[in-house]
Chains A and B, each alone.
Chain A
């Protein structure tokens, strides 16, 4: 190898190294830019429109029984919405089940308003063609816990059980990709494309992730509920579609919510 060729090779290697460093800088500033963008539009979150829609639905008589949801007990007493989400999921005596917000709303809509369960669960998520009532109701309810401390209890044996089941689901590897939630959410400083992935074993990560859902998705132009978030996580793992408000999704929510205990609830959030 002659000297000039060696010099050229060193030069190429040096360029490649600086190129890599440049790329790392870019990705850091990109996530900073996303942060700046979030902050810029945080007081113009279109999720507010969904909150308004949800509030109207909450107060308006509907269903075969022509009743509003103002007698719905979300765990703080009949009709109390303020702060209810910060303590959900929880055990409910009347249904003898641990329920998250959406499964509880489902109970209220079926018992108080007399709407058949299948009518609600057939299409529980919003699309650009049709908004979802249960999803808008959820957006309204979570908005009433903004700024409150997440305090989800595991005192009741059923709550403890749900937490343990949720933890197992979180770590359960299955499906054609041999995936688990923990494949992506149990390591720090990893991301999918531009999105930083929260590590649920780290308290601060779990808190900031959980407390920012439900959220308005700018790319979809829709406010997405927590049940939707889990449903889509299952899809991304190529798992069979989970049943809306099923015991499994509630248990997983329980695990994630307890992991986020102590956080100031900040939803409804805003995502790319």
Chain B
């Protein structure tokens, strides 16, 4: 159970714009502690966004993405008040899902 995301969605001219800010360490697995031991890899591997049960975005994430990733995407359709759900999964099997209502 990761930390909550911030999701903002708004619809304009039939296109919904979604902004997602995820909270995640995104550790590459290449960084070392001061004593030389490797910091184990820990990063988001998959992101999925759904609108009313329909998958509107699927992405594969990796080590090259920064800590606390920010994602902006648009999809056709969507109406004020409808829900957008975003889920991420990381390489430790942890997952987090948050949702937001589409604003005007």
Q: Can you list, as one digit per residue, whether each of A82-102 has a CB less than 8 Å from chain B (1) or not (0)? A: 000000000000000000000
Cβ-defined partner of A221 (8 Å) among B6, B20, B67, B70: B67
Main secondary structure of the interface of B (DSSP, over half): strand
A140 → chain B closest CB, angstroms: 15
Is B23 interfacial (CB 8 A cutoff)?
Answer: yes
CA distance A264 to B8 in the complex (A): 25
Is A164 interfacial (CB 8 A cutoff)?
Answer: no
Residue among A41, A44, A45, A221 with the highest chain B CB neighbour number at 10 A: A44
Is A172 interfacial (CB 8 A cutoff)?
Answer: no
**A44 contacts B67, CB within 8 Å?**
no
**B70 contacts A49, CB within 8 Å?**
no
**A48 contacts B67, CB within 8 Å?**
no
Set of chain A residues within 8 Å of B67, measured between Cβ atoms = 46, 221
B58 → chain A closest CB, angstroms: 20
**A43 contacts B68, CB within 8 Å?**
no
**A49 contacts B23, CB within 8 Å?**
yes
A residues within 8 Å of B by Cβ?
41, 43-46, 48-49, 218, 221
Cβ contacts A to B, 5 pairs, < 8 Å: A44-B70, A44-B72, A46-B70, A49-B23, A221-B68
A44 → chain B closest CB, angstroms: 4
Instruction: State how many residues of chain B have any CB contact under 8 Å with chain A.
Output: 12
**A44 contacts B19, CB within 8 Å?**
yes
Set of chain A residues within 8 Å of B23, measured between Cβ atoms = 46, 49
Is B66 interfacial (CB 8 A cutoff)?
Answer: yes
Is B91 interfacial (CB 8 A cutoff)?
Answer: no
**B66 contacts A218, CB within 8 Å?**
yes
B77 → chain A closest CB, angstroms: 22
Set of chain A residues within 8 Å of B66, measured between Cβ atoms = 218, 221
**A43 contacts B3, CB within 8 Å?**
no
Is B21 interfacial (CB 8 A cutoff)?
Answer: yes
Set of chain B residues within 8 Å of A46, measured between Cβ atoms = 21, 23, 67-68, 70
CA distance A46 to B3 in the complex (A): 12
CA distance A41 to B19 in the complex (A): 10
Set of chain B residues within 8 Å of A45, measured between Cβ atoms = 21
Set of chain B residues within 8 Å of A48, measured between Cβ atoms = 6, 21
Set of chain B residues within 8 Å of A49, measured between Cβ atoms = 3, 6, 21, 23, 68
B:1-30 near A, CB below 8 Å: 3, 6, 8, 19-21, 23
CA distance A44 to B8 in the complex (A): 10
B:35-60 near A, CB below 8 Å: none
CA distance A48 to B67 in the complex (A): 14
Not counting A41-B70, A44-B6, A46-B67, a sample of 20 additional A-B residue pairs whose C-beta atoms are within 8 angstroms of each other reads A43-B8, A43-B19, A44-B19, A44-B20, A44-B21, A44-B70, A44-B72, A45-B21, A46-B21, A46-B23, A46-B70, A48-B6, A48-B21, A49-B6, A49-B21, A49-B23, A49-B68, A218-B66, A221-B66, A221-B68
